[in-house]
């Protein structure tokens, strides 16, 4: 997996070969997070599938999938979240998929009318209820490459002539939306299948630096998170709207309107994934056991809430330590077989917890692809030495004993499993990303070590002056 970036904000040109665990180091505003966002937007499926429908007669439609136009709209909208420039992931990413993807499918389905009553409607309230309860539409559609057809037969109860005309217009829109939803879902399934074949992952998640505010707000809700559903039926925040489908209805060759392109920012995408996990009271038990050494207490599902307890004493989420919230942000968002992108995992962590975080990230690379940005010497040094020494479970447990860490059996096992992981370091500076060897990183952290050396020299000069 290789990231290519050119003229991308602070990045002039960079070629980054990703390992199982990749670390971006460098001074502030050098482009570390920009490179991570380039990876995210190259591989995550937030891509509109643009479909043009044309009415050929009552109960008959044709349609075309306009992948080129969808890709153009995606790039234009993406500029709101990442600087204009060139970026891609080789040998496979979402842009390549959209250029080459072709699907062949035939399917039959049933659509239920979704007629809404409004003041001045051609249908009475009782007619709307009757149509929605008794009406059904038999639909068959086919797609070959980028073109397709739809045939449908609406079975409607007897209503007034004006109401029937209105209902048929609504039904046509419902059929278009359902077919478009199915096709968008098929494209997503095919994309994720190819993503798995190329990289062994089935999802991409970006854990942003400002995660603590999201975590605190969601955990303190104490009720099932409010959810709405996009056209494809997946939970999504109301402020985002549908992320997958941009539907243009073409009647008689004349565009009658189209939904806007909506591409979620990394923080918003993280929020709804985190919110969904909190609402379902679910988290990966293996990830939880790996993170257990970080926590004094335990996390439990009580009723419709997640509760943090130390001993038998529950602690309000408003009063738990910042480090616990940081750990929760990782625990409730990460699943296995993901590409996990984390900004500054050392945030809010004491030095001992930074060592544990480095061990966790290294262990996570046994089942996930991981990319991080960091300013922490502790995390960089620990990761470099882990990659060089490849410690066994027993050796890791000796470290835990020395640090006074309990409950680290699973984490120690996963550290040993990660001995085959490829760990890579890049120093991002002056418009590029320079690969560093494990030997170099294990000696010093570029930029940070230099600053500390200058500080020490300055203090030494002061001590000399003071005799």
pLDDT in tens, 290-348: 998 988 888 887 777 788 888 888 888 778 888 888 888 888 788 889 999 999 999 88
Cβ atoms of residues 161 and 299 within 8 Å: no
For residue 142, the model assigns a pLDDT of 97
For residue 221, the model assigns a pLDDT of 64
Nearest to residue 218, comparing CAs of 237, 203, 240?
237
For residue 308, the model assigns a pLDDT of 85
Q: How many CA atoms lie within 13 A of 381 on its CB side?
A: 11
Cβ atoms of residues 384 and 427 within 8 Å: no
For residue 298, the model assigns a pLDDT of 86
User: pLDDT tens digit string along 412-456?
Assistant: 999 999 999 999 999 999 999 999 999 999 887 776 777 778 888
Q: Which residues of the chain, if any, have pLDDT below 50?
A: 222-263
Rounded to 5 degrees, what are φ and ψ at 428?
-95, 115
Rounded to 5 degrees, what are φ and ψ at 97?
-60, -45
Q: What is the CA radius of gyration of the chain?
A: 27
pTM: 0.82
Extents of the domains making up the chain: 1-30+344-407+417-467, 46-202+218-338
Cβ atoms of residues 175 and 61 within 8 Å: yes
């Amino acid at each position: 997996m290789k990231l290519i970036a050119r003229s991308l904000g602070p990045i002039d040109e960079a070629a980054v070969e990703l390992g199982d665990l990749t670390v971006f180091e460098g001074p502030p505003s050098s482009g570390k997070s920009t490179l991570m966002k380039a990876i995210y937007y190259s591989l995550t499926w937030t891509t509109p599938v643009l479909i043009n429908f044309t009415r050929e007669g009552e109960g008959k439609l044709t349609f075309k999938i306009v992948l080129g136009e969808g890709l153009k709209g995606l790039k234009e909208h993406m500029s709101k979240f990442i600087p204009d420039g060139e970026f891609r992931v080789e040998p496979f990413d979402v842009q390549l998929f959209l250029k080459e993807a072709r699907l062949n499918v035939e399917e039959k389905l049933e659509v239920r009318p979704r007629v809404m009553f409004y003041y001045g409607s051609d249908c009475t309230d009782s007619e709307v209820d009757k149509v929605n309860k008794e009406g059904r539409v038999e639909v068959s559609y086919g797609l070959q490459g980028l073109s397709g057809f739809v045939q449908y037969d609406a079975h409607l109860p007897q209503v007034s002539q004006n109401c029937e005309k209105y209902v048929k217009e609504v039904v046509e829109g419902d059929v278009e939306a359902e077919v478009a939803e199915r096709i968008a879902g098929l494209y997503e399934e095919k994309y994720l299948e190819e993503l798995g074949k190329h990289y062994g992952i089935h999802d991409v998640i970006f854990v942003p630096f400002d995660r603590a505010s999201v975590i605190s707000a969601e955990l303190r809700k104490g009720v099932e998170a409010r959810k709405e559903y996009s056209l494809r039926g997946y939970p999504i925040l109301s402020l985002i709207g549908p992320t997958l489908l941009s539907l243009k209805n073409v009647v008689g060759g004349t565009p009658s309107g189209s939904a806007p392109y909506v591409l979620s920012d990394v923080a918003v995408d993280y929020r709804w994934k985190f919110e969904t996990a909190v609402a379902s009271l679910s988290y990966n038990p293996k990830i939880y056991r790996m993170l257990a050494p970080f926590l004094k207490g335990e996390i439990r599902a009580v009723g419709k809430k997640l509760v943090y307890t130390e001993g038998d004493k529950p602690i309000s989420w408003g009063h738990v330590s910042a480090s616990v919230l940081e750990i929760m942000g990782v625990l409730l968002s990460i699943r296995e077989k993901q590409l996990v992108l984390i900004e500054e995992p050392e945030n809010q962590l004491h030095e001992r917890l930074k060592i544990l975080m480095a061990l966790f990230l290294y262990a996570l690379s046994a089942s996930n692809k991981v990319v991080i940005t960091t300013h922490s010497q502790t995390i960089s040094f620990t990761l470099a030495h882990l990659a060089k020494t490849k410690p066994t479970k027993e050796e890791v447990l000796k470290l835990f004993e020395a640090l006074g860490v309990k409950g680290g059996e699973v984490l120690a096992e996963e550290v040993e499993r990660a001995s085959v992981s490829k760990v890579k370091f890049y120093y991002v500076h002056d418009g590029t990303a320079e690969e560093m060897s494990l030997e170099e990183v294990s000696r010093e952290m570029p930029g940070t070590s230099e600053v500390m050396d200058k500080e020490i020299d300055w203090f030494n000069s002061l001590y000399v002056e003071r005799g």
